[in-house]
Every structure is written in C-alpha cells, then in structure tokens.
Amino acid sequence: MEIIKTENLTFDYIRRDEDGNVEGITTAVDDVSLKVKPGEFIAILGHNGSGKSTLAKHINAILFPTEGTVFVDGMNTRDDEKIWEIRSTAGMVFQNPDNQIIGQVVEEDVGFGPENMGVPTKEIWERVEESLKAVGMYEFRKKSPNRLSGGQKQRVSIAGVLAMHPKCIVLDEPTAMLDPIGRREVIRAVTALNDVEKITVILITHNMDETIGANRIIVMDKGKIAMEGTPREIFSRVEELKALRLDVPQVTNCAHELRKRGLKIPEGILTDKELVEALKHVNFG
Amino acid sequence: MSILVNHLTYKYNPGTPMESVALNDVSFEIGDGEFIGLIGHTGSGKSTLVQHLNGILKPTEGSVYYNGRDVFDGDYDLKELRSHVGLVFQYPEHQLFESDVFKDVCFGPLNLGLSKKEAELRAYKALKLVGIEDDFFYQSPFDLSGGQKRRVAIAGVLAMEPDVLVLDEPTAGLDPRGRDDLLDSLKTVQAETGCTVVLVSHSMEDVARYADRILVMNNGTIVYDDKPVSVFRHYDKLKEMGLGVPEITGAMYRLRAAGFNVSTDVITVDDAVNEIMAAMGHA
C-alpha cells in the first residue's frame, strides 16, 4: 500500500472582499494524482506559486482538498477522527527554524510533540534521545536553541518531528535560510533518515543540487505535475526546466553547454565525478 | 570614498556574564558604485555588521564614517544617513502593510518628507526597476507571489533613492528564475543609478556571478577582502569556515586532480565551458 496517495486532488484558494463576496479563485493544485511508496525519497521542484507547498500541506492535513481525496497510510485526511494520527504519521518541517522551536532547552523542544500526543514520560525521554542521535544533535541536548546555528536549529526541528515516530516526513524548503554547511548538515541528516530508518521523505527545495540523491523528482507547474522521473532523467531536460523557471546543478549545466559546443558527452551528468569520467572518455575514445 | 569602517568592535550585552563579541576590530572601505558580496556562516557577524552601516547598531569601539563624517558623532542626523544607506532585511515582504502595491512603495519617500508627487514619481521608477508591471500597482501586496512581494519590498527601499543599498539574503526562498531576475535587476539598478550594492548571501554561486569584490567574515572578523577569483582560491580554508566555493569551481579542482590541464581560477559556468573546451583542444 502507498504511504501517500492523492486522487484527482484539486485545491482552490478563494479570495473574498470585505462583505464576504467571492472576488476571485486561484486553483493552486489542479487534478494531481500522486502515489508515494513507503521508503521513497521524493523531491518536489517548481517555481514560486507552482503549488508545491499547497500540495505538501495536504499531506499533513493542514489543508483539505476542494475536490479529490488524499490518503496518508490508508487514512482519508477528510476523516476528522484520524486527523491526529495522520499528523503523527506524516510530520512536517518548515523553512524558518525560528518559527518552529518553542522549548527553552533542546531536549524539551524535541519532547513537546510526543508529550502532546500523550506518550508516557519514560518513553518520551527515549524518543528524545534516539531522535537527537539520528540527526547528530544529541550532544546539544542541554543547550538553549537560541545558541545554535541555523543548520543545528533546523536539525532540532527535524528531531522534534522524528520523536512523533512518523512514517513520512515532508520538508518544505528546509535549507532556504541556511549557510552552505547548514545545508549540507540538514541534507545529510535527511538522507540518513531515509537510508537507515527507511522513513519516507518528501523534500521541497529550490536548490537543485539537494535533489540528486532522490529516488524520484516531481516538477510542478500551474498546480499540475509537469515532469516526473529520476534525477538523471529530469536533469537531462535542461531547456524544459529553464522554461519552468527552474535550473539544473551547475555541473549539469556545464556538461549541457559542452555538449552544445560539440563534445560527445551524455546528457544528465549530475556530479563532478561523472563529469570527469565523461571527459576522460572523450579524451581517449 | 563612501563608507569607511574603522576598527569596529561590537559586543552584545557588554559588561554582563552574557557578553559576546559579535565583531572584533573590523576595518574596511567601500568605494562608490561597487558591488560587494558579503559572505560568512550563520553567526559570523554579517547581519551585525550591516546594521552598523545605517546606524541601527552603535559600535562598542571604533567608528563608521559616511562620506568622511563619523555617523555616531552626536550631531550626525541618523535619519538622513538612513536616506543614503538603505537596508533591506531578510524576508522584507513581511514588512509590507499598505492596501496596494503603489502606496506601499510610496511610504518610504513620503516619510522622508517628499511631496506626494515626487514620492509617486520615485515609486513608479523603483517598481519599474525591479520589474513590477503596471497591472500590479493597485493590487493588494498580499495577493502577489513570493518573488513579486520580495521585489515590491525592495522597491520600497529603492524609492528612497539610497546611494548605498544593503541587502541581507534577498534571494532566500526564491525559485531559480526569481533569484536570477532579482539579482539581474540589482545589477541594472547599480548600472543605472551608480549606487553601491552590498549583497549578503549564503550562495557562493550568486556572489561569484555578481560581485566585483567579496568580503568573507568568520568569527566576527574579516578574513578575506578581495576579487571573487582570488577569494575562491582559498578552497580548504573556506570549507573550514563552513562556506565553500561555487559548485563549478569544485568541479574544476576535481578535473585538475584527474589530470586535465584546466585552470581552477574559474567561478562561473560560462568560464568553465570555455576552459574545458580549450583543454580538450576545441578552443
């Protein structure tokens, strides 16, 4: 069974004037049918306003479909009785770590979620410990979150979600505010959760290089799924991506330009290692 | 010479057990019309530094001069300084508040004491510079997309026609095209108005493409102050500081290590393509 399934999901934002009359309707998600298998690592790309975040908020039952249905681990998000179970099955991490951290001490912040769910005290402490260890923040457990760097705070936010024992984590641009090392730390932590803990990951990002490790990339445009495939398949379509206001990793772009200038190297080169190999082949072949 | 920072030290909570040194004896000069990239990891002191440039923070020690005058001298009018040095904070769109786009952009110049007509003229010019079309002028700023809101907020600062424009991570959260459009329009503003731009960024790729000069901060001090190509020669040191080099520069190092005769003084994709073509005998 799929961990996430959307069937013909459509969501309209309705704007109203002061008297409550409808002024306009914006269809943010338009007839999207998506299936995510347990343990998959999915990256969602798309320009600002393409519907990525609106789609993501349906997985966590923050928003509900105008039309269509969303299932999380078999539960319909429309089912009021399941809403807390859905939110602990699919946890969500947002862009700004400062808006997500509430505790005065790191371990207290991470324990908030399970405490709120009514988990027994002893088990809360076990969960806090394992979650902080999973994101490499255990040694900071007694610190004040205010004293942490952006990347560290964001890893604490992820630990807070982990402590609720989700099967799936949705991350909405978790690295947008971070410096290069903070970005690396967060992506490494997320990749490890997927590899080791087998947690399903849905990562929304504007940093193309963060998506190379995904099993599948979904590109959204005007509320619809515009492209879908492995990173190599997606990043082989450089011109299409640019038309959708997106980009490719710099190395991929470089290889694409070299091809245009006549070098016989394949499309969809994702890493500098692959570029070296491809160029060696040109040299001696 | 427009800005001179002289032995600037700033301590948060001085004289208390919570004292922490955010800036430690920082000195540099920014000339008219320069495009400066300011990089450094979170907590390195970048934001503390830029808040001194328009007088929001007052140095614990040292001084800041604007056009030769000490801005923290008792009789210096800080309000006037702020009309010369415009600061765009992180997520400036959170500060939009007016009922329509045009009014929001007029707020700054009106606040400077300009006439309504002059303010509107400036607002119009500023919105054009950042690429906002007339269709959006009378819409609520809250109905715009994230990238458009960001540009409206920046127009609000541009409309005050500052001589120095300081932007703290203006592209965070924008899609790749939105990022390129915004940075391109900053370059246009700099070219057309001759203003100085200070761009605080976490993207090595962006500062490599746009800045004429890069300042690198680490633990409250400036460790490098040089042309982008020269700064990015410090590959290992930058990594130790939690930064790095543009992705493409990293690839050139790897090619060179694998025996290709390419220069590692490459910081943009265009230069990399030319360099590789030459090395492959296709110059």
Pick the range with the lowest mean pLDDT from A68-82, B12-26, B214-228: B12-26
Task: Classify residue B121: in a domain, yes or no.
Answer: no
Cβ of A247 within 8 Å of Cβ of B280? The answer is no
Which residues in A lie closer than 8 A to residue B205 (C-beta atoms)? 250
Q: Does A206 touch chain B (CB under 8 A)?
A: yes
First to last CA, chain A: 47
For residues B24 and B55, membership in a common domain is answered with yes
pLDDT band at A258 (very low <50, low <70, confident <90, very high): very high
Task: Classify residue A219: in a domain, yes or no.
Answer: yes
Give the DSSP letter string of chain B.
Answer: --EEEEEEEEEESTTSTT-EEEEEEEEEEE-TT-EEEEE--TTSSHHHHHHHHTTSS--SEEEEEETTEETTSTT--HHHHHHHEEEE-SSGGGG--SSSHHHHHHHHHHHTT--HHHHHHHHHHHHHHTT--GGGTTS-GGGS-HHHHHHHHHHHHHTT--SEEEEESTTTT--HHHHHHHHHHHHHHHHHH--EEEEE-S-HHHHHHH-SEEEEEETTEEEEEE-HHHHTT-HHHHHHTT----HHHHHHHHHHHTT----S---SHHHHHHHHHHHTT--
For residues B224 and B264, membership in a common domain is answered with no
pLDDT of B283 over the 70 cut: no
* Per-residue confidence (pLDDT) for residue A285, from 0 to 100: 43
Work out how many CB contacts closer than 8 A connect A with B: 120
pLDDT band at B224 (very low <50, low <70, confident <90, very high): very high
Task: Classify residue B171: in a domain, yes or no.
Answer: yes
Task: Classify residue A239: in a domain, yes or no.
Answer: no
- How far apart CA A120 and CA B273 sit, in angstroms, is 60
Cβ partners under 8 Å of residue B106, min gap 6: B116, B119, B120, B122, B123, B159
Task: Classify residue A155: in a domain, yes or no.
Answer: yes
- How far apart CA A272 and CA B181 sit, in angstroms, is 27
* pTM for the structure as a whole: 0.88
Q: For A34-61, how does the pLDDT look when each residue is reduced to its tens digit (9 = 90+)?
A: 999 999 999 999 988 899 999 999 999 9
Q: Does A180 touch chain B (CB under 8 A)?
A: yes
Cβ of A48 within 8 Å of Cβ of B280? The answer is no
Q: Does B278 touch chain A (CB under 8 A)?
A: no
Task: Classify residue A82: in a domain, yes or no.
Answer: yes
> Cβ distance A228 to A206 under 8 Å?
no
Instruction: Find, in chain A, the residue whose alpha carbon is nearest to that of B170.
Output: A177
The yes/no answer to whether this complex scores an ipTM above 0.90 is no
The Cα angle at residue A27 between residues A26 and A31, in degrees rounded to 5 = 175
Neighbours of B132 (CB within 10 A): 21
> Cβ distance A225 to A218 under 8 Å?
yes
pLDDT band at A150 (very low <50, low <70, confident <90, very high): confident
Q: Which residues between 18 and 47 in chain A have a beta carbon less than 8 angstroms from any beta carbon of chain B? A: 46-47
Cβ of A149 within 8 Å of Cβ of B277? The answer is no
Q: Does residue B276 or residue A26 have the better pLDDT? A: B276
- If 0-12 CB within 10 Å is exposed, 13-18 middle and 19+ buried, where does residue A31 land? middle
Q: Which two tokens stand for residue A82?
A: 């399941």
- How far apart CA B196 and CA B184 sit, in angstroms, is 15
> Cβ distance B72 to B52 under 8 Å?
no
Task: Identify the CATH number of the domain in which residue A116 sits.
Answer: 3.40.50.300
Counted domains in chain B: 2
> Cβ distance A77 to A64 under 8 Å?
yes
Q: Which residues between 65 and 124 in chain A have a beta carbon less than 8 angstroms from any beta carbon of chain B? A: 95
Interface test with A, best of B12, B89, B269, B270 (most A CBs within 10 A): B269
* Per-residue confidence (pLDDT) for residue A26, from 0 to 100: 87
Whole domain around residue B279: which residue ranges? 246-283
For residues B9 and B67, membership in a common domain is answered with yes
Across chain B, what does the average pLDDT equal? 92
Of A72, A90, A85, A61, nearest to A34 (Cα)? Answer: A72
Which residues in A lie closer than 8 A to residue B260 (C-beta atoms)? 276, 279
**Given A150, A180, A283, which is nearest B244 (Cβ)?**
A180
Whole domain around residue A86: which residue ranges? 38-66+76-230
- How far apart CA B48 and CA B50 sit, in angstroms, is 6
For residues B214 and B283, membership in a common domain is answered with no
Q: For A85-105, how does the pLDDT look when each residue is reduced to its tens digit (9 = 90+)?
A: 999 899 999 888 888 888 889
pLDDT band at B129 (very low <50, low <70, confident <90, very high): confident
Across chain A, what does the average pLDDT equal? 92
Cβ of A180 within 8 Å of Cβ of B243? The answer is yes
For residues B5 and B51, membership in a common domain is answered with yes
Q: For B149-207, how does the pLDDT look when each residue is reduced to its tens digit (9 = 90+)?
A: 998 999 999 999 999 999 999 988 888 988 998 899 899 989 988 999 999 999 999 99
Residue A149 C-alpha, separation from nearest chain B C-alpha, in angstroms: 6
> What would the mean pLDDT of A108-130 be, rounded to a whole number?
92
pLDDT above 90: percentage of residues in chain A: 73
Which residues in A lie closer than 8 A to residue B43 (C-beta atoms)? 149
For residues B170 and B206, membership in a common domain is answered with yes
> What would the mean pLDDT of A140-151 be, rounded to a whole number?
87
Task: Classify residue B118: in a domain, yes or no.
Answer: no
Task: Classify residue B33: in a domain, yes or no.
Answer: yes
Task: Classify residue B206: in a domain, yes or no.
Answer: yes
For residues B215 and B255, membership in a common domain is answered with no
pLDDT of B146 over the 80 cut: no
Task: Classify residue B115: in a domain, yes or no.
Answer: no
For residues B193 and B259, membership in a common domain is answered with no
- If 0-12 CB within 10 Å is exposed, 13-18 middle and 19+ buried, where does residue B242 land? buried
For residues B225 and B253, membership in a common domain is answered with no
Cβ of A206 within 8 Å of Cβ of B174? The answer is yes
Counted domains in chain A: 1
pLDDT above 70: percentage of residues in chain A: 99
Task: Classify residue A26: in a domain, yes or no.
Answer: no
Please give the C-alpha separations between residue B210 and each of B34, B166, B190, B204, B261, in angstroms, as whole numbers. 11, 14, 11, 10, 27
* Per-residue confidence (pLDDT) for residue B153, from 0 to 100: 93
> What would the mean pLDDT of A152-176 be, rounded to a whole number?
92
Q: Does A143 touch chain B (CB under 8 A)?
A: no
- How far apart CA A112 and CA A108 sit, in angstroms, is 6
* Per-residue confidence (pLDDT) for residue A283, from 0 to 100: 55
Q: Does A212 touch chain B (CB under 8 A)?
A: no
For residues B257 and B220, membership in a common domain is answered with no
Neighbours of A102 (CB within 10 A): 10
> What would the mean pLDDT of A124-146 be, rounded to a whole number?
92
Task: Identify the CATH number of the domain in which residue B72 sits.
Answer: 3.40.50.300
Which residues in A lie closer than 8 A to residue B261 (C-beta atoms)? none
> What would the mean pLDDT of A192-197 be, rounded to a whole number?
91
Cβ of A251 within 8 Å of Cβ of B143? The answer is no
- How far apart CA B222 and CA B26 sit, in angstroms, is 6
Pairing of strands A200-204, A41-46: parallel
Dihedral angle, C-alpha B122, B168, B201, B51, nearest 10 °: 120
**Given B146, B202, B269, which is nearest A48 (Cβ)?**
B146
Task: Classify residue B238: in a domain, yes or no.
Answer: no
pLDDT band at B267 (very low <50, low <70, confident <90, very high): very high
For residues B5 and B65, membership in a common domain is answered with yes
Task: Classify residue B130: in a domain, yes or no.
Answer: no
Instruction: Find, in chain B, the residue whose alpha carbon is nearest to that of A17.
Output: B140
